[in-house]
């Protein structure tokens, strides 16, 4: 991923978290719309990257829409063969499924995360996956 794109996505995530923590719905909405436009502008281009779609899904309030965005993120990650993103997306998807009360699907999705996370250096993600599956 290009460093500029990474910094943009990270910047949006940090600002969205701050806006959410402050209860600033206007700022959150504006930042979310900008991140959404970035993602849509990059869809199916050389700049399409799973990180942007995962971030967008993470901040999407409509659960069904968030699931669709995780699906797209996973498709991009699979196409680019980025195992770390495949693991992270599957894990976050599993968390959302659990929050929605869809436990069986959540466990299966998290098992997929565990498979792709084998050999990963992301110790925190591996710990989160193990804890989820206990």
Chunked into runs of 10 residues, the chain (134 residues) has average pLDDT values of 87 97 97 97 93 97 97 96 95 98 98 93 94 96
Query: What would the two tokens of residue 100 be?
Result: 């929605």
Domain ranges of the chain: 3-133
pLDDT value at residue 120: 87
pTM for this one? 0.92
pLDDT at 5: 87
Q: What's the pLDDT at 119?
A: 82
* pLDDT at site 121: 87
Nearest to 63 by CA among 28, 35, 101: 101
Residue 113 confidence (pLDDT) = 97
Q: What secondary structure letter does DSSP report for 120?
A: -
3-133 CATH pick, 3.30.450.40, 1.25.40.10, 3.40.50.1860, 3.40.140.10? 1.25.40.10
User: Beta strands of the chain (E only): which ranges?
Assistant: none
């Amino acid at each position: 991923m290009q460093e500029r794109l990474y910094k943009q996505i990270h910047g949006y995530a940090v600002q969205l978290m701050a806006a959410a923590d402050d209860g600033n719905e206007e700022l959150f909405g504006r930042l979310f719309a900008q991140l959404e436009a970035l993602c849509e502008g990059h869809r199916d281009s050389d700049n399409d990257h799973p990180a942007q779609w995962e971030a967008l899904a993470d901040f999407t309030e409509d659960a069904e829409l968030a699931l669709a965005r995780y699906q797209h993120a996973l498709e991009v990650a699979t196409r680019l063969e980025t195992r770390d993103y495949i693991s992270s997306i599957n894990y976050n998807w599993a968390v959302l499924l659990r929050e929605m009360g869809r436990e069986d699907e959540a466990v299966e999705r998290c098992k997929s995360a565990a498979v792709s996370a084998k050999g990963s250096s992301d110790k925190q993600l591996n710990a989160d996956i193990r804890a989820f599956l206990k």
